[in-house]
Structures are given as C-alpha cells and as structure tokens.
Structure 1
Amino acid sequence: MNRREPKNPSCPSEPSCIEPASVGNGFVPVANAEQRTYWNEHAPEAWVTHQEAMDEQLRAHGALALEALELRAGEHVLDLGCGCGDTTLALAAEIGPSGRVMGVDLSAPMLTRARERVAEGSLTYVELEEADAQTHSFPEGAFDAAYSRFGVMFFEDPVAAFRNVARALKPSGRLSFVCWQPASRNPWVTVPLEAVFPFVPPPSMLDPNLPGPFSLADPARVSKVLADAGFDDVKVEPAAVQMDFGPIEQTTEFLMTLGPTARALREAQPSEQTLDAIRIALRDAVTAFATGDRVTLGSSVWVVTAKRGP
C-alpha cells in the first residue's frame, strides 16, 4: 500500500497516518484503504441484511468484554468498530442517560443502520461517527473506557491505533475488547472452510500477519502491541463460546454470504456449477454439527483488558 506523510491536521502525528480518503458521504482520514473499501463496498450489504443473526451469534462474546469493563452509570465510553450498533446500545444501557457513548466505524452503510437503532431508542446521549480509530482526532482524555467486539483487528498499524485510543482515554482509563483466537481453534471457521477447500483456495483474511479477523490471535503479540501503545496491566484471558447458527439450510446460505468462507468464494469467483457443488459440500459439513435442525459450532476468543498508562 502506498503511504504518505499526513498533510491534514486532523490526522494524529503517527507515521502510518495517510491523507483523508472519500468514505460514505464525506472525507475520513483512514490508514487502510483496503479495509475502507471492503467495509463500504463488499461487506456492508450482507452485514446489514443479516444484522439480527450476527448480533445473536456474537452477543455472548461481546458480553464477556462488557462484563470485564465494569462500567458505571454516567461514564463516557468509546465503542471501537461499532458496526450496526448492537454493542453501542449495550454500552448505552450500562452507563445510562447521565453518561455518553461514542461509536466509531469505517462502514457508512452499517452506521446508517446503527443510527436507525439509536433513533428508535431516542438515545440522545449516543453519538455515532464515521471514522478510522487509528487516525481520528478524538478529544484527548475524554473517555473513561474504550470497548470493542471484534472491531480492533483491522488496523494498518495496531500500535499507532491503540496509542490513539489511549490518548482518548483519561489517565488509568480502561480498555476491554474481545478478539478471535487462531482460526485453527475456531470450528465456526474450520468446518465450513474444510468443506470448500477442494473447490477454492483459502481466503487472504486468514493471514495473521495482515489486518483481518485473526491479526490479534497471538496473545503475546496482543500484549506487546498494547504495551508499546502505552497501556499497562494488560491481561489476555481465553474463553470459549458455542455459536447457534440456526437451521441447516439457513446456516449453509449464511456461511456462503458472510465470514471466511464467503470471502474465499468472493476472491475465487467460482462458476455457478462449482457454487452448487460447494453448497452441497457445505450443507453436508454443517449437518454433522446439527442437533435436530439447528447447527451449533464452537468458537475460541481472547478477552483482553488493559489500562492507560501514566
């Protein structure tokens, strides 16, 4: 990726910050144009369409990080990668109208859905911002805590991003997020991918060295990134969650639309005939994990907590 020194004063003075790029209806400083494109052009329609199903599948994971944050009424909280707003609503319920929640995300379409949900609840103390958390000029020392449910693995420069988050926190401000353990420990990833590998190659998003869902799968790397970004008292705790994907046919179509399997299909662009064969193989694979007609697949995550250093 071509990267340039920032000329725009809204970028923090990090070497990885780049010029603003057009996102949605405005101009947002971003450090990773590929992620910007993916979350605004390739992924959002499916995520918005399947928002309720995704929230149901991921809510238990997010609750682990939410509980670890130990929020109190009236606090100001930053929601990193807020997506369609489920986590933002959960944070708002914890801190109440005397507090403030700011949700940020790169995806304009997903934020549109989030704004609809916030408006439905008349949550005037919730603010949503189209922004890259790595480069956005957050007010310094404005937040008591920062939180994320699978929203912090996509940074171009994780140290710069978390340093920017630390800058937004008050002294000793808390950070809590949940991220995936390696793909090999996540049957929700391996089961469908093993079914489709005879037809298509692995998706690029599995590379732990690139921005993507598994970039923070190594707990040693997580600890180093946060320490280098200015966080203390870093803890990385393992957790396992069973994910209910619903009926077999629904699960099959869902996995072909969202997640690593869907990314593999998008990158490979198989023929319709091959897609039909993939659908059959995928259906057979998930059926082995069905109780009755409902498919349950395991997942493994890290629950990460830290505090802003002095």
Structure 2
Amino acid sequence: MRATVNDQQEQAWNGDEGRHWADHHDRWNAVNGEFNEPLLRAAAIAPGERVLDIGCGAGQTTRLAARRSGTGEVLGLDLSAPELERARELAARERLANIRFVRGDAQVHPLPSGGFDVAVSRFGIMFFADPVAAFANIGRALRPGGRVALLSLADPDRVDWVRLFGVLRAIGPVPDFTIGEPGMFSLADPMTFRQILEGAGFEQVETTLVEAPMVFGSDPDDAAGFLLGSGPVRFLLEQADPAAAERAHSILSEALRPFQQPDGVRLGGAAWLVTAARPAS
C-alpha cells in the first residue's frame, strides 16, 4: 500500500502552502475557528473515546478533541510535515499526552481496523483523489457503529472570501472554484457528499448547513496581505509583475473595507456539516 496517492497535494502541503499554514496557524484558526464548536458538538466525543482527526493540519481540532476525550487517545493524520511539526510543538506546550500525530494520506494510510470510535475533520477531507476509497478506508478504521463528523466548504457563492477574489480579475486569471472538481469545493454539493459516504459503506448520513464568520485580519490592509499570501492568490501574483502585485493589495484592501468590524475583518463563511455512522454489524 502506497504512503500517498494524492501526489499534487503531497507536493503542495509539503511546500509553500504547508509552510504558509504552519507559520500562520493562529491566523488560519481565526478564519476557521467558529466552526469548531458545531463540529465537536456533532461528534459528541465522550471521555475515553478514541478519535481520528483527518487532515488535522497544525492540530487545533486534535487538541480540542483530546481534551474532550480525556483518557482516550487521539490521532491527528495529515500529509503536511511542516504543519505536523507545528502540531507536535503546540500539543507539547499544552501538555496533552493523549495525542499522536502521523504523516499520511487518509485515502490509503494503513489505519488500525476498528481502531477508533469517531473520526472528525475540519476542512481536511476535500482533496482526495478518490473520495469513495478514502472514506471506505476511514470507515474500516472505525469500530462497528462508529461515527464521523465532517466539515466541507459549501458552494462558493456562500463564501465571502471566494466572491471577493473577483475584484482581482484586473490583475490576472482568478482561480476557478468549480463545485465537484478536485479541490476546496469538491464536496460542496451535499447530495454528492451523501452519495460518496453511502458508496463508502456509511449509513445515517445527515447534512446541515453551518454559517459562521471567518476573521481574516485586524483591518482591511492586514486582511488583504494575509489573503494575498494564501495559495490561490499567491499563484495568481506569481504570474504578475511586481507593480500588479502592489495594485492587487490596494484593490483587495478596498474591497474588504465593508467587512470591517470592531474585532476585525469578518467575512461570511458557510460549510456542510455531515454526520454518518458505520453499520453496527
């Protein structure tokens, strides 16, 4: 069994993208952190339960799960060596001894059969080359009756930061965020998500739309700089000349001004929260 099959993702998350997320883990947690409580509430982690965190990144959700599990064990699985290095540092700093972090591709990683009570993921399950195979592998790692609670971005029209990228068309070609294509919005259609999970052997599949603010910075200039360093925009700017890159910051900063709140720049976000269970027998 290969260690990974998602070669493109393997390269990205162990290159510039992975280092960016590791170096700015606190900022990405500010972006995604409002989704933590709905995810963990749906997961209903009980003391002593064994938890798998899929695509754990720098491990914020892993650490939160470990606190809820208490005497149970939590495994954080991710492709990104830079993010896992940061995850281990943060878990050690918080003295959480019931966590392990492993680098691997959840689509093929040899997880222990029936080794977990629950699997969770905060936006870590949208990049599989073969999602049915990935969720079947995850399902085998759950005990009979084990469950999943998963977050995936909803369609781009519901996500403010995606719509804002349109203002950068004057600089260059804006990424095409197509629903169903491999990438951030591969599972943005809830019916497709349901069919994939059922195809992987799950039952009791439920989908709920969760809307929450995503904090991108302290002010528009700060938020623009942060967004310009993210993968989709960074790729655009690499194709442009330095003057265009400087213009992009100004254009994006201006577009962000209506989103300024007293506690920072808050953009509307939306995700599908999907729960399902492995058959009990």
Normalised to the residue count of structure 2, the TM-score between the two structures is 0.95
Offset of residue 197 of structure 1: 1.4
> How is 1:37-116 mapped onto 2 (pairs within 5 angstroms)?
37-96=11-70, 98-116=71-89
> Which residue, out of 218, 221, 228, partners 1:256?
228
Check if 1:239 corresponds to 2:210.
yes
Q: CA deviation at 1:42?
A: 2.4
Q: State the alpha-carbon separation in 2 of the partners of residues 125 and 89 from structure 1.
A: 9
1:58-86: CA deviations, max 9, x gaps? Answer: 11112211110111000000000010011
Tell me how far 1:186 sits from its aligned partner: 0.6
Structure 2: distance between partners of 1:234 and 1:43: 32
The CA distance in 2 between the partners of 1:241 and 1:285, in whole Å, is: 20
The AA in structure 1 aligned to 2:154 is Q
2:129 and 2:268 mapped to 1: Cα distance? Answer: 29
SS of 1:146's partner is strand
Residue aligning to 2:261: 291
SS of alignment partner, residue 34 of structure 1: helix
Q: What SS does structure 1 have at the residue aligned with 2:95?
A: coil
Counterpart-to-counterpart distance in 2, 1:224 and 1:280: 43
Q: Which residue of structure 2 aligns with residue 15 of structure 1?
A: none
* CA 1:107–1:214: 2 relative to 1, 3 Å: same
Measured in 2, the distance between the counterparts of 1:207 and 1:262 equals: 19
Say whether the 8 Å CA contact 1:62–1:178 is kept in structure 2: no
Who is 2:197 aligned against?
A: 226
Q: Secondary structure at the match of 1:188?
A: helix
1:159 aligns with 2:132: yes
Q: Which amino acid aligns with 1:156?
A: A
Give the C-alpha shift of residue 231 in structure 1. Answer: 0.3
SS at structure 2 position matched to 1:306 = strand
Aligned to 1:302: 272
TM-score for the superposition, normalised by structure 1: 0.87
1:190 aligned to which of 153, 163, 166: 163
- Structure 2 counterpart of 1:272: 242
The alignment partner of 1:197 has SS state of: helix
Q: Which amino acid aligns with 1:66?
A: L
Moved more, 109-118 or 61-70: 61-70
Name 1:211's counterpart in structure 2.
182
- Partner Cα distance (1:119, 1:139) in 2: 24
Instruction: Tell me the amino acid that sits aligned with residue 207 of structure 1.
Output: T
1:12-47: CA deviations, max 9, x gaps?
xxxxxxxx4xxxxxxxx1111001001011202211
Q: 1:300 Cα shift?
A: 1.0
**Long gaps (5+) in structure 1:** 1-10, 12-19, 21-28
Counterpart amino acid of 1:264? L
CA contact (8 A) 2:166 2:174 kept: no
> Which residue among 97, 112, 121 is the counterpart of 1:148?
121
- Structure 2: gaps (5+ residues): none
The answer to whether the 8 A contact 2:120-2:149 is kept is yes
Structure 2 residue identity aligned to 1:221: T
